[in-house]
């Protein structure tokens, strides 16, 4: 009986490991998709504002800052 339980536990662990791996792969895929969409969104906003993408991100940093920033701090 103990051997059978150990065998069943081993099978369940293997299934859980495969299921976990599948979830991790799905999450990686979804994060890559989100990243691509975010980059495209920021590019689109930059174009609407008449800025290049880097200037748009710098403007974002400046707006979020609590105090004035120097050029060196932005870089």
pLDDT at 64: 93
pLDDT by residue for the chain (75 residues), tens only, comes to: 555 666 666 666 777 788 889 999 999 999 999 999 999 999 999 999 999 999 999 999 999 999 999 889 888
Is residue 74 within 8 Å of 58, Cβ to Cβ?
A: yes
Instruction: Break the chain into its structural domains and give their ranges.
Output: 2-74
Planar angle of CA 14, 27, 18, nearest 5 degrees = 10
pLDDT score for 12: 65
* pLDDT at residue 14, as a whole number: 75
């Amino acid at each position: 009986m103990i051997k059978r339980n150990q065998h069943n536990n081993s099978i369940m662990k293997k299934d859980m490991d495969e299921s976990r791996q599948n979830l991790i792969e799905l999450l990686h895929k979804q994060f890559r998709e989100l990243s691509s969409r975010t980059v495209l969104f920021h590019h689109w906003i930059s174009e609407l504002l008449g800025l290049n993408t880097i200037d748009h991100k710098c403007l974002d940093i400046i707006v979020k800052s609590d105090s004035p920033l120097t050029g060196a701090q932005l870089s």
